[in-house]
Amino acid sequence: MNDFFRIPIGSWVAAAFDWIKATFDGTLDVISLVVKALVQGVADGLLAVPAPLLIIVLALLGWAVRSWQFGVGAALTLTLIIGMAQWENAMFTLALVLIATIIAVLIGVPLGILAAKSDGFSAVIRPILDFMQTMPALVYLIPAVTFFAVGFVPGVFATVLFALPPGVRFTELGIRGVDAETVEAGHAFGSTPGKILRGIQLPLAMPTILAGINQVIMLALSMAVIAGMAGANGLGKEVVSALATLNIAKGVEAGLAVVILAVFLDRLTAALGTPGEFTHSLRSALGRRRNARQRAARLEPAAAN
């Protein structure tokens, strides 16, 4: 029965991968060189900065967008990564996540805008996104390794595929959620669709879009660990090595470093989308001080009269 009713979907997909590899071999080589240079460049840049200085900068960034408590917590936990001798691996992982996130956002946000503008395009892309989100993450490594061998590049390729869907969905959701009367007011004042998009829809949808980018970062970080199986340097490779040798200590330290990076990036990007909720942040304090000076400047002439 199985031999009679056998649909060789896997063979067809494998043949398609072989055809893509043979037809676009030169293009894939160029993509591989560019992506590898980007990831290696960012990683080298992060490692060129002394670790204590980079931790101070990241802690100040956390204080600026969230709170001083978050800044202190970030400084302590990032220092713990140094203490576990995982700093270099963490920077490789962070570089991979940053490049993959940038690529996913550059692809996902325009697709989300198109989906919000066109019901037909939305109907087409929605099942594709469902497919991408439900496909087991490890499966993405198969075409990645087929096209780009092993190393950083297949890791970035697989991470982008895995992390892309939330960027598209949240962008579409945010733009479709903009108040229709506000958009109609823009039309009434003679604004072009492009101006309405840039001046009304994107700013009002920004919190939702940033929430989507937050999800992209989280999925990219989780996939970056799996990408260690494709030979990408970083914490994922440490976890895979620890699993292969049953080295519990190494596995725990690499895993804990991943958790620290994930929590830091999650809290940081979440705060960017809802700045009004974080009254203890440095930018909120500077904003209150600026408003107080402006009120005082307005009251001085009135008091003089």
For the chain, the average pLDDT equals 86
110-142 confidence digits (pLDDT tens)? 999 999 989 999 999 999 999 888 888 888 888
Question: What is this structure's pTM?
Answer: 0.84
Six-digit token string for 122: 């939305």
- Size (the chain), residues: 305
Six-digit token string for 127: 């099942």
Helix, coil or strand: residue 136: coil
- In one letter, which amino acid is 232? A
Round to whole Å and give the CA distance between 253 and 148: 29
* Cα angle for residues 99, 101, 104 (degrees, 5° grid): 110
Q: Which of 1-5, 141-145, 225-229 has the weakest average pLDDT?
A: 1-5
Question: Domain 24-273, what architecture?
Answer: Orthogonal Bundle (1.10)
pLDDT of residue 198: 84
142-191 confidence digits (pLDDT tens)? 888 888 888 888 888 888 888 889 999 999 999 998 888 888 887 888 77
Give the pLDDT band (50/70/90) at residue 304: low
What's the whole-number mean pLDDT along residues 217-223?
84
Q: For residue 66, which of 276, 219, 210 has the smallest C-alpha distance?
A: 276
Q: Which of 72-81, 109-118, 247-256, 281-290 has the weakest average pLDDT?
A: 281-290
What's the whole-number mean pLDDT along residues 103-111?
92
Round to whole Å and give the CA distance between 148 and 32: 7
Half-sphere exposure of 209 (CA within 13 A, CB side): 21
Residue with token string 């996540």: 97
Q: Are 149 and 86 in contact (CB under 8 A)?
A: no
Q: Are 236 and 255 in contact (CB under 8 A)?
A: no
Neighbours of 293 (CB within 10 A): 10
pLDDT of residue 88: 93
Q: Are 47 and 219 in contact (CB under 8 A)?
A: no
Q: Are 168 and 112 in contact (CB under 8 A)?
A: yes
Round to whole Å and give the CA distance between 208 and 196: 18
Q: For residue 221, which of 251, 252, 266 has the smallest C-alpha distance?
A: 266
29-59 confidence digits (pLDDT tens)? 898 899 889 988 999 999 999 999 999 999 9
Q: For residue 185, which of 205, 175, 203, 199 has the smallest C-alpha distance?
A: 199
242-280 confidence digits (pLDDT tens)? 888 888 998 899 999 989 998 898 888 888 777 777 777
> What crossing angle do the helices spanning 119-134 and 152-176 adopt, rounded to 10°?
140
Helical spans, DSSP H, in the chain: 9-23, 25-48, 51-65, 68-83, 87-117, 119-134, 141-148, 152-176, 180-188, 193-196, 202-226, 235-245, 248-273, 282-304
What's the whole-number mean pLDDT along residues 68-72?
90
